Amino acid sequence: MKATVTITSRGVVTLPAKLRQALGLKVDDQLIAETTPDGLLL
């Protein structure tokens, strides 16, 4: 699944609800962000 997200002026990125649900993400879950040669990996 792919989703386009927007970064706000405060640096906040919101994942779409369908993506959060598909991944089983809940409030206060943490993700790791890593740069790769292809871009950003969450």
40 contacts: CB under 8 Å, gap ≥ 6: 33, 34
Q: Cα 7 to chain center, whole Å?
A: 10
For residues 28 and 25, give the distance between their C-alpha atoms in angstroms, rounded to a whole number: 9
Question: What is the CATH code of the structural domain delimited by 1-42?
Answer: 2.10.260
Q: Please choose, from the candidates 15, 41, 40, 9, the residue with its C-alpha nearest in 3D space to the C-alpha of residue 29.
A: 15
Each residue's pLDDT, cut to its tens digit, for the chain (42 residues) gives: 889 999 999 999 999 999 999 999 999 999 999 999 999 999
Quickly tell me which residue has 């779409």 as its tokens: 16
**Prediction pTM value:** 0.74
pLDDT at residue 1, as a whole number: 86
